Each structure stands twice: as structure tokens, then as C-alpha cells.
Chains A and B, each alone.
Chain A
Amino acid sequence: MLRFAVASMRASVGRLVAAGIAIVLGTGFVAATLLTTDVLRATAEAAVVADLNGADVVVEYVPYTQEQLREIEALPGVAGVDELVTGGVIVESGHRSRYIDVQSLPVHGAPPPIASGALPSADGELAISASLADSLGVAAGETLRWSSVSSELNGTLIVSGITDQGSLLLGDAPGWASSGTLDALRGTGAQEDTSAQNRLLIHGDGTSQERIAAGVRGVSPDLAPRTAQEVTDTKMAELTGSAQFFVLFGMGFAAVAVVVAGMVIANTFDVLVAQRTKVLALVRCGGATKGQVRRSVLIEATLLGLLASVVGVGLGLGLGQAAAWFLSSRTFGVTAPRLTDVAPTTLLVPVLVGVVVTLVAALGPARSATRVSPVAALRPAAVDPVRAGGRARKWFGGLTLVVGLALLVVPPTLVVATDVSEGVDLDTLLVLLLLVGVTGGLLTVGGVLVLSVFFVPAVIRALGSTLARLLPGEAAATARLATANAVRNPRRTAATTSALVIGVGLVVMMGTGAATARTTLEHELGAQFPADLLVSSTSEQGFGDAELEAAEAVDGVVGLATAWDRSVNLADDPGTAVMVVDPVALDEVLGGRSFAVADGHVALSPTVYERLGSPEAVRLGDYGMGTAASTAEALPVEVVESLPLPAVVAPDALGDLGAPTAMLVDVDDTRASEVVADVQDAVSDANPEAPPNMVAPVEVRATFGQVIDALLAVLIGLLGVAVVIALVGVANTLSLSVIERRREHGVLRAVGVTQPQLRQLLAVEGVLISTAGALIGIALGLATGFAGTAIILGSSAEFRFGLDWRVTLGCVVIALVAGLLASVVPARTATRVPVVAALATE
């Protein structure tokens, strides 16, 4: 049957290519993910090797004496010992500061490469990495201030040069200085024994590492020397261990892509078999057994899987390699793997996966092929509409769906609606609820997929009839005919859309989850501190007019309210701080929530009001520095519903408080960091004696938003592959139906369907199928996304649902466009066949 299989394949090359693309994408993904492991390994190895700097034996972080050091140097086989001293300090330039590790310069090992300037030649000099120089904004020759983390020590250093090292995956490259400098940085006198903080890098003269290590052990076993090989191996194990998580993560998505590819393959083979009914029947007439027929289909599947997987591996590796090269040219520390670095598993596993998935996917169709009776060769058969499915399917699917929905809905409701009482371990409870929710989610998706045979045609019919209602006469007929065509084989259509449902569902779930997380956390931040920026004065006099004007004049400052952040508290509740600020100004700065406070009143938020027992008046107290602001009499209370802070009082109510000590600033969100830095500079310039303190929630919000967006982009990119595969499946189904319905299209054209109408027919069918899949996927994605984040974040007081419109609408638009595109080639095939040829009976 091998020749028959090969001949069949040659006859269907075009159609199989489309199916093959699905496998190529899936296996390519797997290969790329595996390649990432190799890249990580190569990178880690390079980092470790660089760290060792050519040493053969390492003594790390144990105390030693200078005498022992001399003994080691005198050992046979030892060419030299580098005593590496390390210290960590904060370096600052202008307003910017960073924490770095500083290392002593190696003598025997290779010195760090210099990009500009020179390595430190004297005490008080420091060489820093290029990335650090960038972030601090300094160049060779300039001065840095340094301060110790653990003590009051500080001073200045001259930047002698910039090293040619970027940021490693594990942080900034260290700075380099002489050991004298390091003593100063660490604040150690000659007396203290800080040897336990050092590393000894022992360079050999060619003698084996073990021999040297043995010698060092001989000097003192407490030194615990390790050969470079040991160190490398251990560090590698650690690094790849944690990298494992990311690889598994990536493999999860690769698995989704592969599963979706499998569904597309199964669908394709289904239609191929249906389309080859005549040939199969003839072969059976000629004497082929059922087993032979099944084998021929499976052989075809194996060959296709093999070919496509190899192409996929090539593609995945190619792309991965290109990406690695690109990265390694920009960032130090990412090493592009050489061909020898690529493990054999990276090449073999994707191919194996591809072949197995294709085979498994083809099992069902292979069985259908055996059911073609030889009589079919003699009797021409029309393509009859297929029944959707029995009651057993309805019951099973319905049950799964109902149970799934219940499990999905209950945990989030519990979390959000009820207050978790004390004594319950919140973490374990949440994990438990999450597990229940995840099970619910899986069952819901499973139920929907099982029932998709009913859902999908229903959705298509709804879409189709809506479309027909909106369109004028002739176009409406096309829409109705397309709808009828799309639902005539519910099983095949459902199989096609299932792949899309999974892909889109996952994308929307991620999008919804991210949007909800972002919205909730933004509200949390907002609740804790509602203003974008708080600028506090470090001077006893507070802010003068110069500083206030300077701040307000900064481009990007939208509003400013002066406040007095002296310690004003509620006398009866010292834990509650009272913000002294003009409520009108505060209202403007905080935007959104509008409120007003009567003169002389203290505004309290409802929570605080209740907590104090609904007092009519409160006294204020002053616990600390500055002008007396305590009031002997109590001030009347006004409860303000929408008060963003616990308590607010206008400065007038407290008498003369002097100059304001704080500014609440509303900044342009799109340029947050820039504006914050500008405000800091402006106020510092206005009063160089007392640079202000800055607390910028807006930056936290912005950073947070960026991180979530970046994560989401990566996730969607990963899932995008699955969605693309699913859409290829739609194109497949369309093109194969066109071939199946050749005769029918001939009849249609004879009866009066024009060529443009025929093209529109197929376009509408494509759009209906893919849009239906997208809509169902979106519904599932929203449900699971909301439920999941409700469980995780629901216990927060500020839990809010968020919807990512871009992602959701984007999916619909992509589905629409893809459905259209999917129909282009099949439509051309359909209209290119002359009517007469289409009508001819074979």
C-alpha cells in the first residue's frame, strides 16, 4: 500500500500542504521552545566561565590567613592567586543612584575589557560597566558619590574608565577598583579579618585541577577548595534548574499549538477521505482489504507528519537562532548557541511529536476510510447533510457543562462576596478554591467542545440570519445559502471551529485576566494614595513661593495642591493621619471624584467615621515637629462619601500653619517618569539647600502597567501561533468543501449564480465559520478569565472587573479578516472551473 499511499499524496499535494502548514507551525513552536533551553544553557555556561576568569581552583567565602595565602602561592603547579575582594555600595550621580558590587582587580586572570578610559590605577578610582554609566549618566573622568548600605560611610570616587560589559541576565556587571579602594568602601581597617568575604581564584600552570585542589586542601582542609569544573557544574545545575520553570511554561503553550494542529489535521484527513470516496471504493472493488485501506491513510499521515515536522524544526530553529543572534548583538550575556550547542533532543523531539500527533489525528479518518463500501464506486453519491449527534452526546455534554459552570462560578462568588474570617489560612483556602475553579474551567470548556456540534451551527445560523436581514435582496440570498452550506455538516464545522475556540479562548482569558489585574491593582494603589505625586519639603521652613511656582511651571504638571504634612492626627485615634489641604484644591488635583467640605469642618471618610463611633466633632492633635496645630476644641465633622483619604481638614481651620510642607501633584500620565524627574529638578533648583522628597505612585502605576502589558504581549504572542493554526484549519475546510461541492457549484451557476456571487458565497461561509468560533471562544475566555482573577484577587477591597477591549475586539476582527482571506483561494478554484466541466459526471 506504500505506493498507493504515495500516489494518493501526490494527487492531493495542494490540500495536504495546507494541512502540513499546521504541523510545521506546531513543531516549529516546540523546536523554538527547546532551543530556548539550549540558549539558556549556553548563556549560563558563558556567565559562569566569565565569572571564573580562567581560574583552575576556587576557594570561596571561608576565612584564611595571609600565611595560608602565601603557602598556596608557593604550591607546585600554582602560577598565581588572585585575591578577589568584593564590596557592595550605593553610587550616586545627581539624582540617580544605584547599588553595585565592586570587585578588586585580578592580577593573574584577565582584566575586564575597557571601552573608554582606563582601569583604576590608584585608590579612589572606579571602573564601571557601560550600562551603569548609562543609567547614572556619567562618563570617564567624572565623579560619583558613594555611600555604604550598612554604615554611615560615604565619599567620592573618580570614574577611571568604562568597561565593555553590559547588563548580564543576572544584574549589572560589577564595578572594579583597587583593593585599597575596597578597604575604604567596606570600612575595614587592616585589623579586621574579612577574608571570609573574599574569593581566591587560583590559576594553575597546566597541572591538573584536581592536583592543585589537593595541594590547597593540604594547606588546610577548611579551605574547601573546588575545581573550576565542579563550580561550573554546580552553578549550571542551579541556573538550569530555575530555567526549567520557563521552559515548562513555554512547553505548555507549545502543547496548545500542537493540540490545535492535531485537530486541524484530523479535520483535513476527514475531508480528504470523504473526497476520495470514489477512489477508495474502486480500490476496494479491486480487492484491497479494510486493513490495507486503513494502512494507506496512516502511511500518508506518517509521511506528511515526518516531512512537515522536519520543515517545522528547521523553521523553529532558524527563527530561534535569528532571535538569539539579534539579542546577543544587543545585550551582553545572551549567547547565541552554536550548532554544536543544540542538543540532539531539540532536533528529535519536535519531529517525534509531529509524527505522533499527525498519526493519532489520522486514526479516526483512517477508520472512516475503511467504511467506504465498494458499491460506492458504481453508484454516484451526493454529499448528504450529516446528522449532528445523538442524545447521549447532549446529555453528557450538558452535564459536563453544568457541573463545570457551577465549579467555575462558586469559588469567585465566595471570595468576592464574603469576608474571610480570621483563623482561616487565606493562602491555602485560595489555592483550594483556585483548583476548584480551574477544574470548573476545564469542564466548562470540555462541555462546550462536546456540545459544539450543537452550539456552532446555532451561532452560525444566528449570525447568518442577522447578516441576511441587514443585506439587500440578492446579497441576502447569498448569505442564506452560505449559512446553509456552513451548517450542513455540523461535525466538520464544529471540528474546524473547536480549534479556533481554544486558541481565541485562551487569548481572551489572558487578556481579561491582565485587564482585571491591572484595574484592581490600580484601584488599590489609588485607594492608598490617590495623588500622582507627593513632593515633601526637607527644610524646616517648608516650601517657599519660588519652589511652588517652579513646580507648577513644569511642563506636564496638570494640577497642584499645597498641603501641610505635619503630623496632624485625630486626637482620639492617633493612627489616623489628617491631611491638611484645601479641599477644593485637593478635589481638582485628584480629578475624578468630586467632593466639597464646609468651612471649618473636618472631613472624614465613611470608614473612619464609623470606626470612631460616628462622632459629631473631633479634636486634632500634633505629634511631633513643627508648628503647633492642635486644637483644644473639637472641630465639627462632615462625612464625605467619596473622600479619597481617611481625613482632611482645610488649613484655615487650624490657624496659621506657615508655609506648606507638601505638594500634591497631578501629572500627565503618559510622561510620568519624565515629569516626576523634571519636578524634582525644578524644586531642587529653586532651593538647592533642601532637595525635596519624592513619592511617586504614578510611576509605580506606570511601571506596573508596563510589566503587565509586556507579559500579556508575550503570552498572546505565544498563543497567537495556536490561533493562526486554527485559522489555517478554516482555510483547509473551505478549500476541501469547494472540491467536494464541485458538481453542486456547477448546478448553482447553471441555475444563475454569477461568479462574483459564488465568491461571495464562499467568503461569507468563511467569515461565518471563523466568527462563530471567535465568539464562542471569547465567551469562554471571558468566563474563565473573570472567574480566575476573581478567585485570586477577589479578596481585595478594590476588586474591579476589567475588560481588554483591544484583545477582545482584535480577536473578532482577526477572525473576520481571516475568514475572508481563507476563502480567496478556494473561491478562485471554484470559479475557475468552467461550468460545463463542473457539471460533468465523472
Chain B
Amino acid sequence: MRTLQPLAPTRTEPAARTRGLTKTYGSGDAIVRALDGVDVEFASGEFTAIMGPSGSGKSTLMHMLAGLDRPTSGSVWLSNIDISDLKDKQVTLLRREKVGFVFQGFNLLPMYTARQNILLPFELAGRKPDPAWFDQLVDLLHLGDRLTHLPSELSGGQQQRVAIARALITRPAVVFADEPTGNLDSRSGSQILSFLRTSVRELGQTVIMVTHDAVAAAHASRVLLLADGRIAGEITDPTTDAISAGLDALRVDEVA
């Protein structure tokens, strides 16, 4: 196996962190607390999964961390930059450089080829990508013979791999994955998850994944459990069973 070029020298500060993060919708009696005073840190070079039942606030937490939405109160740091008060334009530019996304579906622009989709962040910035890095990623994700294809000509798994390549092309500080295996069969799904884990292990990438699938979360090195907008628990070096048990505990609390 070839030695893959690692990322920048290992960072010591956390890739992302929040303090007292709160997001509410509505007011008065109808107020909904999506996040309620969340303090959390994500170390560099880690694969973290955020889990919880629906309505727990896990997607909201990811949106906050990625700068896609603004908190009602509290602070968010991304790569040591306080993004809670930044203007939309600045956050967007920050996202361009420092964040990679893999969504459950609809990742790709349908009229662009796989190659064009991967290079999209550079094109948007008007900069030239590093060809060696591009080739490495394509190799890693086994996309060599698919580069000229349109998304409609790719399978679900292949589309997700293109999405991962795009997410990694700018060597971001964090890769956010939102239910990346939700639309895939189990074989493609596990392939995707192992690619994500490879990127963490070999490339020093930080990945934060939101999922409801215990099997998927087991690929991570840390699982954060959320319930009712608060951190409800944490599991390190998780196994599928431990995760399932954790989730069940949350649900029991809920019903009770």
C-alpha cells in the first residue's frame, strides 16, 4: 500500500467546540428548544458520531458547528475561530476553505461530471487545485474510471464517494457527514464509512457524523448522545451493542 500523504502537522487545538450553545424557535408558550446550553469539544483527527432520537437536536448541532445556522445564544468555534457572530458572507467563505460536507443525498450538481463536482470548491474560489492531491483522492476512493460521468450515471455509493472526494479536496479542518449512508445499501454504506475512517486514520482528517444508525456510528471512535437538546451521554471506542444500549436508555427516559 502506498504511503498516503498526511494532512498538516497534527493540530493540538480542538477542530470545533461550543460553549453554552442554545438554539430556540418560537417564543412564549410555543418555544422550542432545539439546543439547550450545549458545551462540547471535538478533537482534531477524530471520527465522532452524534446520535439521538429525532428531535434531539443532533442535526441542529451539526448546522451550528458548520456555520449553516446562527445560534440564539452561546458560542461556536470552528478551527479556533468564533463563528457565532460572523456575517453570512464571512462564514460562507470560511466554509469554503475549512469545511467539507457529505449529505445523505443530493450532494452533487447534476449537470457537472464527477471530476467537475469534486473540484467545485476550487472553481468557486477561482483557485487551482493541487493535481497530486486530486489524484491521490481519486485513487483512494476508486473513482478513476468514473470521473467523466454525470451523477445520473453513477450508483448511490459512487455518488457518495464523489461527495467525499469533494469534501476532502480542500483539506478542510472538519468534514461534516449528515446521514451519509442513509440512502445506500449496507455494502456501499460500509464502504463509505470505511473511507471516512481511512481519511481520519491516514490523512489526519477530522470527521463529525450525524446518524441514527448504530452500525454506522460504530465506525467512529467516539459517540455523542443527544436528547432534548442536551448532551445525554458519551461512548468512547463504541461497539454496536453499546450504542444500541445507550440509545435505548435515552428512549426509556423519554417515555418515562
Does B81 make an interface contact (CB < 8 A)? no
| Interface residue from B68, B112, B127, B151 paired with A484 (Cβ < 8 Å) | B112
Does B136 make an interface contact (CB < 8 A)? no
Q: How far is the CA of A744 from the CA of B109 in the complex (A)?
A: 7
Tell whether, in the assembled complex, residue A841 and residue B150 are in contact, meaning their CB atoms are under 8 Å apart: no
Does A390 make an interface contact (CB < 8 A)? no
Which chain A residues lie closer than 8 Å to B95 at the CB level? 750-752
How many Å from the CB of B24 to the closest CB on chain A?
15
Does A214 make an interface contact (CB < 8 A)? no
Closest partner residue, chain B, to A749 (CB atom): B92
Known contacts A751-B101, A752-B93; decide if A474 and B125 are in contact (CB<8 Å). yes
Known contacts A754-B89, A835-B68; decide if A385 and B103 are in contact (CB<8 Å). no
Does A241 make an interface contact (CB < 8 A)? no
Tell whether, in the assembled complex, residue A752 and residue B63 are in contact, meaning their CB atoms are under 8 Å apart: no
Q: How far is the CA of A485 from the CA of B110 in the complex (A)?
A: 9
| Interface residue from B88, B126, B151, B166 paired with A476 (Cβ < 8 Å) | B126
Chain A residues touching B, majority SS: helix
| Interface residue from B66, B88, B106, B127 paired with A747 (Cβ < 8 Å) | B106
Known contacts A385-B110, A474-B124, A754-B89; decide if A380 and B105 are in contact (CB<8 Å). yes
Closest partner residue, chain A, to B90 (CB atom): A754
Tell whether, in the assembled complex, residue B126 and residue A473 are in contact, meaning their CB atoms are under 8 Å apart: yes
Closest partner residue, chain B, to A756 (CB atom): B89
Q: How far is the CA of A453 from the CA of B14 in the complex (A)?
A: 53
Which chain B residues lie closer than 8 Å to A751 at the CB level? 95-96, 101, 120-121, 124, 166
Closest partner residue, chain A, to B178 (CB atom): A839
Tell whether, in the assembled complex, residue B152 and residue A752 are in contact, meaning their CB atoms are under 8 Å apart: no
Which chain A residues lie closer than 8 Å to B68 at the CB level? 750, 835-836, 839
Within 8 A of A (CB), among B97-120: 97, 101, 103-112, 120
Does B123 make an interface contact (CB < 8 A)? yes
Tell whether, in the assembled complex, residue B124 and residue A477 are in contact, meaning their CB atoms are under 8 Å apart: yes
Tell whether, in the assembled complex, residue A841 and residue B105 are in contact, meaning their CB atoms are under 8 Å apart: yes
Q: How far is the CA of A472 from the CA of B63 in the complex (A)?
A: 32
Which chain A residues lie closer than 8 Å to B106 at the CB level? 380, 382, 743-744, 747, 841
Which chain A residues lie closer than 8 Å to B97 at the CB level? 752
Interface residue count on the A side (C-beta < 8 Å): 35
Does B234 make an interface contact (CB < 8 A)? no
Closest partner residue, chain A, to B89 (CB atom): A754
Known contacts A752-B96, A836-B68; decide if A382 and B152 are in contact (CB<8 Å). yes
Does B213 make an interface contact (CB < 8 A)? no
Tell whether, in the assembled complex, residue B111 and residue A485 are in contact, meaning their CB atoms are under 8 Å apart: yes
How many Å from the CB of B92 to the closest CB on chain A?
4
Q: How many A-B residue pairs have CB under 8 A?
A: 93
How many Å from the CB of A470 to the closest CB on chain B?
14
Does B39 make an interface contact (CB < 8 A)? no
Which chain B residues lie closer than 8 Å to A224 at the CB level? none
**Chain A 730-765 interface mask (CB, 8 Å, partner B; 1/0):** 000000000000011001111111111100000000
Interface residue count on the B side (C-beta < 8 Å): 33
Tell whether, in the assembled complex, residue A750 and residue B66 are in contact, meaning their CB atoms are under 8 Å apart: yes
| Interface residue from A382, A474, A480, A835 paired with B151 (Cβ < 8 Å) | A382
Tell whether, in the assembled complex, residue A472 and residue B126 are in contact, meaning their CB atoms are under 8 Å apart: yes
**Chain B 66-86 interface mask (CB, 8 Å, partner A; 1/0):** 101100000000000000000
How many Å from the CB of B126 to the closest CB on chain A?
3
Which chain A residues lie closer than 8 Å to B96 at the CB level? 751-752
**Chain A 463-483 interface mask (CB, 8 Å, partner B; 1/0):** 000000000111111001100
Which chain A residues lie closer than 8 Å to B120 at the CB level? 751
Tell whether, in the assembled complex, residue A385 and residue B125 are in contact, meaning their CB atoms are under 8 Å apart: no
Tell whether, in the assembled complex, residue B152 and residue A754 are in contact, meaning their CB atoms are under 8 Å apart: no
Does A834 make an interface contact (CB < 8 A)? yes
Tell whether, in the assembled complex, residue A754 and residue B126 are in contact, meaning their CB atoms are under 8 Å apart: no
Tell whether, in the assembled complex, residue B69 and residue A834 are in contact, meaning their CB atoms are under 8 Å apart: yes
Within 8 A of B (CB), among A790-842: 834-836, 839, 841
Which chain A residues lie closer than 8 Å to B124 at the CB level? 474, 477, 481, 751-753, 757
| Interface residue from A475, A488, A835 paired with B111 (Cβ < 8 Å) | A488
Which chain A residues lie closer than 8 Å to B112 at the CB level? 484
Closest partner residue, chain A, to B88 (CB atom): A755
Within 8 A of B (CB), among A444-495: 472-477, 480-481, 484-485, 487-488
Within 8 A of A (CB), among B138-169: 150-152, 166
Known contacts A751-B95, A753-B92, A755-B89; decide if A383 and B126 are in contact (CB<8 Å). no
Tell whether, in the assembled complex, residue B69 and residue A474 are in contact, meaning their CB atoms are under 8 Å apart: no
Which chain B residues lie closer than 8 Å to A427 at the CB level? none
Does A384 make an interface contact (CB < 8 A)? yes
Which chain B residues lie closer than 8 Å to A743 at the CB level? 106
Q: How far is the CA of A473 from the CA of B123 in the complex (A)?
A: 8
Which chain A residues lie closer than 8 Å to B69 at the CB level? 834-836
Give me 25 A-to-B residue pairs in the complex whose CB atoms sit less than 8 angstroms apart, sorted by A's number. A382-B106, A383-B110, A384-B150, A472-B126, A473-B126, A474-B124, A474-B125, A477-B125, A481-B124, A744-B109, A747-B101, A747-B108, A747-B109, A748-B109, A751-B124, A752-B92, A752-B93, A752-B95, A753-B92, A754-B93, A755-B92, A757-B124, A834-B69, A841-B105, A841-B106
Given A474-B124, A752-B125, A841-B106, 18 extra CB contacts under 8 A: A382-B152, A383-B110, A385-B110, A473-B127, A474-B126, A476-B126, A484-B109, A485-B111, A744-B109, A744-B110, A747-B107, A747-B109, A751-B95, A752-B92, A753-B92, A834-B69, A836-B68, A839-B103
Residue ranges of B at the interface with A (Cβ–Cβ < 8 Å): 63, 66, 68-69, 88-89, 92-93, 95-97, 101, 103-112, 120-121, 123-127, 150-152, 166
